[in-house]
Amino acid sequence: MDRLTSMAVYVKSVELGSFSAAADALAMSPQLVGKHVSVLEQHLGVRLLNRTTRQHSLTEAGRHFYERAKIILAEVEAAESFAEQARAVPRGRLKINAPVTFGVNALAPRLPVFLKHYPEVSVELTLSNRLVDLIDEGYDAVFRVGELAESGLKAKTLAPYRLIACAAPSYLLTAPPLNEPEDLLGHECLIFTHTSLRTQWVFAGPKGRVTVPVTGRLLLDSGEALISATLAGFGIAMQPAELVGPHIEAGRLAVVLREYSVPTRPLHVVYAPDKRITPKLRSFLDFAITVFGEDNFV
């Protein structure tokens, strides 16, 4: 007899209190239920049940075996369910949220590749710099930059988010010297109003970590708008690499304080802690790790 089947029959008979009740639930004869239990006892070399004509009671060994058998059967069911879902074709609508700059410059340009690979999946992407509630607002997955607060959500770690301090060459031609992070105190800084970038910029250099308080006359809640002002030569900005990189490569912006690096910020994709992830969500999480994982996302 199959040992897992015998374990399932044994667990059912314990939970229902008799062979006859287990037989009704499993659509088999009471004699076959008893045979499954006997086979287990012979294999284990211990008595699991003390039997009478109408009922049975657990031995100490039977109680321990019952607790372990329940765990094993649950794991087998979960493994089979996972394999079944892995075979399923991803389909349906995914509701995704991401910070604006990351969504516009990194995520949205890559989504067509995902959608071409999974023709039965559609994506509703919303971009917002506020902290959305994944559960209450019905999102399947949310990208978050920065340290994660305790929330009970599950998360996949992606490549760290890189920031770059930069300015237009026209600004640097007439601006005061900028050799140390502290020199920013005498410069016009363009302020991004979300996260700690509103009040301070952090650098790492030869003497270790340096935190500089920043102020500015122009405060914006959009990275794209902030970079437009930077390109116009108004001041110095600190923004994500995927936003400023093309402008730096084209010579429209220049990196400042090159001897200092800006510490990276964690980037995660978070999702609800359900035991069974739908095929559409699993496919998207795999896509996010492939595209934005440590080895690929620059």
Mean pLDDT score, 208-231: 93
Query: Is the torsion defined by CA of 225, 243, 254, 214 positive or negative?
Result: positive
218 pLDDT exceeds 80?
A: yes
Residues in the chain: 298
Whether residue 142 contacts residue 285, with contact meaning beta carbons closer than 8 Å, is answered with no
In this predicted structure, what is the pLDDT of residue 122?
Answer: 96
Of 147, 97, 95, 93, give the one whose Cα is nearest residue 121: 93
One DSSP character per residue, 191-211 reads: EE-SSGGGTEEEEEETTEEEE
Q: How large a percentage of the chain has pLDDT more than 90?
A: 53
Instruction: Show Cβ contacts of residue 270 under 8 Å, excluding neighbours closer than 6 positions.
Output: 134, 141, 142, 143, 144, 148, 151, 153, 154, 155, 156
- At 254 the pLDDT is 97
Buried b (16+ CB within 10 A) or exposed e, 200-225: ebbbeeeeeeeebebebeeebeebee
Map out the domains of the chain with their CATH numbers. 3-87 (1.10.10.10), 92-159+267-292 (3.40.190.10), 163-255 (3.40.190.10)
Confidence of residue 294 (pLDDT cuts 50, 70, 90): confident
**Which residue did the predictor score with more confidence, 166 or 297?**
166
- Could you say which DSSP state residue 275 is in? S
Average pLDDT in the chain? 89
For residue 296, pLDDT beyond 50? yes
Instruction: Decide if pLDDT at 81 tops 80.
Output: no
User: What pLDDT digit, counting tens, does each position of 164-207 carry?
Assistant: 999 999 999 999 999 999 999 999 999 998 878 889 999 998 88
48-71: per-residue pLDDT in tens?
A: 888 765 678 888 888 998 899 889
pLDDT digit string, tens, across residues 204-213: 988 889 999 9
152-164 pLDDT, tens digit each = 889 999 999 899 9
User: What percentage of the chain carries pLDDT values higher than 70?
Assistant: 94
User: Dihedral angle at the C-alpha atoms of 144, 146, 149, 154, nearest 10 degrees?
Assistant: 40
* pLDDT one-digit tens code per residue, 82-117: 666 666 789 899 999 999 999 999 999 999 999 999
